[in-house]
Amino acid sequence: MSATPEKILVTGGAGFIGSHLCEALLADGAELVVIDDFNDYYNPAIKRGNIAGFRDRITMVEGDIRDVALVDSVFASHKFDKVFHLAARAGVRPSIADPRLYVSTNIDSTLNLLEGCRATGVKHFVFASSSSVYGPRQRPDLAISKFTRLILDDQPIDQYGDGSAARDCTYVEDIIRGVMAAGRYTAHRLRFRNRQSRRISREHAGPADLRHRGDHRKKSQDQLAPGPARRRAAHLCRCLKILPPLRLRARNAAAERAGALCGVGEKTTLRKGSQ
């Protein structure tokens, strides 16, 4: 624990991953300001439950990061050392139904926060990326939660596409260790990648660059877990909804790169994590 507590802004801190991150940051001695709008993408009561255990140890700003005046006033009222930006509209299919909501929340609001950092000199900004995270307090719209409900209701599990798509699943504690490590990481070089993974690099002494990269590489399920867990993982992945029009066969997390940069790796197998 450092002598002067770090002052940290967590957006989306009432969500699944954000609430786990808040717990880890509080355990690390940080002083937290959390912004969350408790929207009804899923039941807001779940989000209130997520923060119940530490609500009295944070400054909770109940509001929308799309609101520029609100974001500016939060940055003006606090001198943040770091920002962890996890507030987002998740879910691929709903984003097709309402793309403007997704762009304004996930893109415009990120700019609002970056502008807040620029105006107040915050140099460390950690931004959530993609992959699939599971574990305690998992969002109800995610596969393991949905499949569990269907199994308990004796309903068939919807097999998306032709059932051959696969996706890495990372246990939430492993993600939190990675996010915490990203919060401590100072990059020497910032790398930009596009979908085809062409790389543009430039020397940079700025904030961390940690992300999971969705790509089209096929990855052996052997890397997830051995034996029955591998079969369960394969079954789980067959059932995961991957957008058929994109012909996305497999989505892997570039965990090796995150591990090399920040010194953390995945520890929890799907078998252990899903128990």
Residues that bind ligand NAD (CB under 6 A): 12, 14-18, 35-39, 41, 47, 64-66, 86-90, 105, 109, 128, 130-133, 139, 142
Helix (H, G, I), strand (E, B) or coil at 244: helix
Q: How many residues does the chain have?
A: 275
Which candidate, 167, 172, 175, places its Cα nearest to that of 134?
A: 172
Q: What is the DSSP string of 80-145?
A: -SEEEE------HHHHHH-HHHHHIIIIIHHHHHHHHHHHHT--EEEE---S-EESTT--TTSHHH
Residue closer to ligand NAD by CB (options 84, 185) is: 84
Residue closer to ligand NAD by CB (options 131, 252) is: 131
Residue closer to ligand NAD by CB (options 108, 162) is: 108
Residue closer to ligand NAD by CB (options 93, 189) is: 93
Least distance in angstroms from the C-beta of 127 to ligand NAD: 8
Least distance in angstroms from the C-beta of 266 to ligand NAD: 14
Give me the residues paired with residue 59 across strands.
33
Residue closer to ligand NAD by CB (options 21, 225) is: 21
Chain-centroid distance of CA 138 in Å reads 12
> Strands 82-85 and 7-11: what pairing?
parallel
Least distance in angstroms from the C-beta of 20 to ligand NAD: 8
Least distance in angstroms from the C-beta of 70 to ligand NAD: 9
Rounded Cα distance, 135 and 8, in Å: 24
For the CA atoms of 142, 146, 147, 148, the dihedral, rounded to the nearest 10 degrees, stands at 110
Catalytic residues: 160
